[in-house]
Amino acid sequence: MINPFDLDEPRKLFKGHNPQCEISYKLAGCSEEEIKLVAKETGMGLIIMGENGSTISSTPFSEGWYADAITDWPGQAELYKMEKILFHEKSEFQDLWFFSETNNSLQHGKVVILDGYLQLTEKDEFAYQEMLSHLPLCSVPNPKKVLVVGGGDGGILREVSRHSSVEQIDICEIDKMVIDVYKRFFPNIAVGYEDPRVNVHICDGVKFMQSVPEGTYDAIILDAFVSMGPGAEELSDQHFLKSIARALRPGGVMSTPAASYWHKDFEEIADSISNCRKVFKGSVNYAWTTVPAYSSGIIGFMLCSTGGAAVDFKHPVNPLNPENYGVATVPPQVLQLRDAHSCIPAPYFRQEGH
């Protein structure tokens, strides 16, 4: 039995790609016979592969459900009931679409699929955005210059905005489409762009980091989605890591998503950790938070600092001021959660106490 997730190049299963992104096998750009074959072979129902490898899957008998089935978690898939597909566009870099969920207001709200991966849902994006931003920024005193690589949706900018010590927020996003789509459809996330300290650079992150003077930034937040998997190309790319370390001041900090510690192959995380240790001569830590929309319900983070002033990510020296919303319209949600229920430790605090 073929499992498409075991194949090196799943797109080879078939070439069809449906520009309208219609979740209906009749419009999938390939014959019904092909579909049925794949459905039968895979046991996963219909799978439409875009040329860029993006995956849109549904089963003819459960049309209207989106199946989040990713390579790293074979034998599993998360189904989301789709109310309506609201948008689909393909830039020269990525394929982006999103749908509203049935019981929208009660559940995940809009669900965004970027290059075939569930990027975020309106319900729980805050947990990822807050932790990826505050774990590093709360670990250094008075961060002034911050670089966000990727993060076109603006959510990280929204969180960085809560830090009053910050004077300059550069964001380097290669795909303008992402920025435009979020500004148009996700005001609560793209609100980050309204911070006057933000400078937008539409370009390649590595090239940008190499173009700035050495030691420019206090913190660099990597929000490039591909690095979320345990495959984490970036984290095994010394050239890339060195570009980050170079752009950071001594004792500067970097954060990036990493795999869930529930992933079967924890060694891949261990590899990421040791790869980071080769480049970052300060602290190198693995952290995590819960995000139901991501496989296994949690997402990991790598937190690294360059040599110089010691950084202790487990004991943040620069607590977030929950009163200061920046351009955000609500206080940090995870902290709120903690305040409301004192026995729920916020991820921020998960770094402490041991």
List contacts with a copy of itself (CB under 8 A).
3, 39-40, 43-46, 59-65, 67, 69, 73-81, 101-103, 106-108, 124, 260-262, 264, 269, 273, 285-288, 290, 292, 295-298, 303, 313-314, 337-338, 341-346, 349-354
Strand order across the 117-121 sheet: 95-101, 110-114, 117-121
CA atoms of 36 and 23, how far apart (whole Å): 15
Q: Supply φ then ψ for residue 186, to 5 degrees.
A: -130, 65
Q: Supply φ then ψ for residue 70, to 5 degrees.
A: -115, 150
Q: Which of 95, 204, 223, 312 is catalytic?
A: 223
Distance of closest approach, residue 53 Cβ to a copy of itself, in angstroms: 21
Is position 223 annotated as part of the catalytic site?
yes
Distance of closest approach, residue 95 Cβ to a copy of itself, in angstroms: 23
Closest to a copy of itself by CB, 79 or 226: 79
CA atoms of 259 and 228, how far apart (whole Å): 6
Nearest CA to 279 out of 309, 232, 234, 312 is that of 234
Closest to a copy of itself by CB, 93 or 261: 261
Q: Per the structure block, which two tokens stand in for 348?
A: 């921020």
Distance of closest approach, residue 46 Cβ to a copy of itself, in angstroms: 8
Q: Per the structure block, which two tokens stand in for 268?
A: 């891949």
Contact (CB, 8 A) for 274 and 309: no
Distance of closest approach, residue 326 Cβ to a copy of itself, in angstroms: 23
Closest to a copy of itself by CB, 125 or 170: 125
Closest to a copy of itself by CB, 135 or 174: 135
Closest to a copy of itself by CB, 107 or 210: 107
Distance of closest approach, residue 18 Cβ to a copy of itself, in angstroms: 18
Contact (CB, 8 A) for 147 and 220: yes
* DSSP string for residues in 153-218: TSHHHHHHTT-TT--EEEEE-S-HHHHHHHHHH-HHHHGGGG-TTEEEE-S-HHHHHHHSPTT-EE
Half-sphere exposure (Cβ direction) of 279: Cα atoms closer than 13 Å? 26
So which residues are the catalytic ones?
Answer: 223
